[in-house]
Amino acid sequence: MLVFGLLDTLLPINTRVDYSTVVTAADSTILQAFLNRQDKWRMYAELPEITPTLRSAIVYKEDRYFYYHPGINPLALIRAAGKNLFSGRRTSGASTITMQVVRLLEPRQRTYGSKFIEAFRALQLELHYSKDEILQLYLNLIPYGSNIEGLKSASLLYFGKPPKLLSLAEITTLAIIPNRPSSLQLGINNAYVMQERNRWLRRFGEAGLYENSVIADALEEPLTARRREAPRQAPHLSLRLKQANPGMPIIRTTVRPAVQAAAGQLVQNYVNRVRALNIHNAAVLVINNQTMAVEAYVGSADFANALDGGQVDGVRAVRSPGSTLKPMLYALAFDKGLITPKSKLNDVPTNFGGYEPDNYDQRFNGAVTAEFALANSLNIPAVKLLKEIGTPTFTGLLRKAAFTTIRKQSKDLGLSMILGGCGVTLEEMTRLFTAFAHEGQLKGLNLTVSASSGEGTRLISPEAAFLVTNTLTQITRPDLPNNFDNSYHLPRIAWKTGTSYGRRDAWSIGYNRHYTVGVWVGNFSGEGVPELSGANTATPLLFQLFNTIDYNSAKGWFLPPKGLASRAVCPESGQVPGEFCTGRAVDYYIMGVTRYQRCRHQKSVFTNPAGTLSYCAHCLPDRGYVQRHYPNLLPELIAYYEIKRIPYAAIPVHNPACERIFEPGTDQQAAPFIASPNNRSEYFIDPKAPADMQLSCQTGNEVRTVYWYLNDRLYCKARPTEAVFFKPRPGVLKISCADDRGRHSDIRVLVKSL
């Protein structure tokens, strides 16, 4: 015993086995299996998969006294030695299941010395492992011919089912093959295999191992075994998890097979329909909002399609998000008290220091509410909000949400990021939208059953999350697919679409209480397609997914949080009604956060009775004047009305006889804003043929004339909305604009020669 203990310490048995990686769904269904490093199918069978029927059949056939001997069977050894001695050749090896495990772990030549070593190793196994663990190891290593090893591999590849679902006839078939894998070849010699199977079934019956009725049924069962392909569901997710968990024999994902199969089929069918439009791929991610479990992961339409990049994982590919980040920007603006759903934002042509964004339909809408701007995905209001909030603040929020590419790009990102000028992945975007379903709390995704989403990170308030959800639930919006509501059941979801620059990416992300689903459609090559858009390309697939996996959801809908209240506002401005407000509208606001501002959409002006002259307090006559109300419009909105020839009530020209030029307190606020050229910008010209440079400004609606100065010399006078042109010369140029009230503003630009 001392010698055995010393040898056991010095020469420990190595039971490490290189198994195939098996990726399973949440219900243990096998999604995908991979060859091991020796290119063998050797799948790991767990103890619960070894059913009593399987255990009794294997033990009876291979080693009836398995549960009684210490690894070697002395009686079997004596019997085998006698047979070999009298026959003059090896007729029996007397190997127990434990000794066979040793031989499978450490293959050796069949000699008496090898048998002695196997006996020693068998005793070691019995010392360190239980009988069930040894039987499990045996079933994981027995050969089935070709590159198939282990009963689980044979069960899956020959019968298409896991071991726990095998019938007695199938178990018996797999039990007899390891002894003669070359002659008992499933799918080739099925008739001979069936003959041998039935012979052993009768022996089981004679031994009383199973009831006679069970044996009779097994004898009648046909043998239809054939070599099958290994399962290949969720290939992108399976590869991802295999690379992240090297050497792990079984990886249990949160995927639900029914949801995964439905999503994969819908994606494939949809891409087949739009392929005629030169659109070749799509990706989908389905997240359960209650558990943060990923229930479907479709990286591409067809993994096997190498021509269209089918092996690219579209869930993790970095793409331009288009307008899909806007809901989070509006939520941030709600939380900072800058706006409410009824607040008015101006959707007019605007120059942001040389950046002049346009809307998707290349139209402008003038003054619109914040909820209209978000529901219609207007670009100018979004860029204005981002400018007011600050790009660093918004990128900080996205870094907090673990946007990897934005974390790397944050120093280089500008206002264009809100329109798609940054890199994101479908996984990041879909996870971000779960925050709206979790009252502003962002939690981690669970790809495996052992993962935990944790407590999460607070991104926005529950109130802001509800306001965004309430807006994105509206169906009277342009990103509703054409005629979709006439052809399909429209799911009750909140959703947002996005289309990247050049129509390279189409996005649609939707959510309800149960699921958040992200859809990306496009080409992995980056090729743009004129017909590609979030509304008409990605949203139909999004609706089909919700109608398939969560039709008529019983999870209820989102309720307003306690910190949200409603109040009466002026419909002209979305602010608290002032003295000139006649109408009323109801608007949500966040208590203690939203700004309290009185509406000033109109102002009182003294004019002559004809309404052709206006007076300030300095030149107001003693009599013969009237008080009128005029809209208090921002210069940018006035310029838009003038360009579009939209009628509005303009303040009359100020009394020319007035000796006082400035109005107290209004000098800086009312000064003309020079919209073109851009302050502190550099312009390059061809000295031989210099191009004209445009001068344009925005003023208050009481201004009728402006005066342009170049390097402090009068250049011309013009109407505020009139475009003025001049030929620049190289050098520093000071440009000034003064209005007919004496207010002025200056900028400087640098003109260089090419």
Report all structural domains of the chain as residue ranges with CATH numbers, in order of start. Answer: 13-22+34-220 (1.10.3810.10), 326-549 (3.40.710.10), 562-598 (no CATH), 602-654 (no CATH), 673-753 (2.60.40.10)
Do β-strands 744-753 and 682-685 pair in parallel, antiparallel, or remain unpaired?
Answer: parallel
Encode pLDDT of 47-70 as tens digits: 999 999 999 999 999 888 999 998
Contact (CB, 8 A) for 550 and 514? yes
CB 228 within 8 A of CB 158: yes
Q: What's the mean per-residue pLDDT of the chain?
A: 89
Q: How far apart are CA 45 and CA 270, in angstroms?
A: 38
Burial class (CB in 10 A: 0-12, 13-18, 19+), 444: middle
Identify the top-confidence range among 76-80, 114-118, 544-548: 544-548
Between CA 280 and CA 284 the distance in angstroms is: 14
In 3D space, the residue among 494, 465, 471, 436 whose CA is nearest the CA of residue 587 turns out to be 471
Percent of the chain with pLDDT over 90: 62
Q: Which of 342, 286, 751 lies closest to 576, judged by CA?
A: 342
Lowest mean pLDDT among 28-32, 88-92, 321-325: 88-92
Higher pLDDT, 258 or 666: 258
pLDDT tier for residue 486 given thresholds of 50, 70 and 90: very low
375 vs 331, 397, 428, 590, CA distance in Å?
13, 22, 22, 20
Name the 3-class secondary structure at 12: coil
Residue 728, pLDDT > 70, answer: yes
Rounded CA separation 225/184 (Å): 12
pLDDT of the residue at 665:
41
Q: Give dist(CA 589, CA 566) in Å, integer.
A: 6
> What is residue 690's predicted lDDT score, i.e. its pLDDT?
80
How wide is the angle at C-alpha 266 spanned by C-alphas 262 and 267, nearest 5°? 120
Distance between CA atoms of residues 364 and 372, nearest Å: 13
Task: State both tokens at 461.
Answer: 């308030």
Query: Is 227 a residue whose pLDDT tops 60?
Result: yes
Q: Of the residues 238, 300, 320, 323, which is catalytic?
A: 323
* Per-residue pLDDT tens digits for 527-556: 999 999 999 999 999 999 999 999 877 788
Residue with the larger pLDDT of the pair 252 and 94: 252
C-alpha span between 481 and 180 (Å, rounded): 62
**Has residue 667 got a pLDDT over 50?**
no
* Cα gap 623→545, rounded to integer Å: 72
pLDDT attached to residue 130? 93
Query: What residues form DSSP beta bridges with 516?
Result: 287, 511
Confidence of residue 437 (pLDDT cuts 50, 70, 90): very high
**Nearest residue to 570 (alpha-carbon basis) of 604, 595, 601:** 601
Give start and end residues of each alpha helix (H) in 524-606. 539-549
pLDDT at 93 over 80: no
- pLDDT tens digits, 247-264: 899 999 999 999 999 999
- The pLDDT score that the predictor gives to residue 668 is 42
Overall average pLDDT of the 90-112 stretch: 80
Residues in the chain: 754
Q: What is the mean pLDDT of residues 385-391?
A: 94
pLDDT of residue 737: 92
* Cβ-contact 29, 178 below 8 angstroms: no
What integer pLDDT is reported at residue 198 of this predicted model?
Answer: 95
From CA 77, how far away is CA 636, in angstroms rounded? Answer: 100
pLDDT at 614 over 60: yes
pLDDT at residue 663 above 50?
Answer: no
pLDDT at residue 373, as a whole number: 95
CA end-to-end span of the chain, whole Å?
95
Q: Is 220 a catalytic residue?
A: no
Choose the catalytic residue: 20, 49, 62, 300.
62
Positive/negative CA dihedral, 390, 391, 396, 398: positive
343 is catalytic: no
Question: How far is it, in rounded angstroms, from Cα 391 to Cα 463?
Answer: 23
Task: Identify whether the C-beta of residue 538 lies closer than 8 Å to the C-beta of residue 479.
Answer: no
- Among 197, 183, 187, which residue's Cα sits nearest to residue 57? 197
What's the pLDDT at 643? 81
Question: What's the CA gap between 237 and 253, in Å, rounded?
Answer: 9
In degrees and rounded to multiples of 5, residue 128 shows phi and psi of -105, -15
CA distance 56 to 259: 37
Reported confidence tier of residue 488, pLDDT bands at 50, 70, 90: low
Dihedral over Cα of 189, 190, 195, 201: its sign: positive
pLDDT computed for residue 85 by the predictor: 63
User: What is residue 87's predicted lDDT score, i.e. its pLDDT?
Assistant: 62
Q: What average pLDDT score do residues 496-508 get?
A: 95
6-10-11-14 Cα dihedral, nearest 10 degrees: 120
Q: Is the model more confident about 237 or about 356?
A: 237
**What is the per-residue pLDDT for 315?**
97
> What single-letter amino acid sits at 136?
Q
Q: State both tokens at 245.
A: 């968990």
Phi, psi at 456, each rounded to 5°: 95, 180
Question: Which ranges in 178-278 belong to alpha helices (H)?
Answer: 190-206, 212-220, 235-244, 257-274
Q: Residue 589 is which amino acid?
A: Y
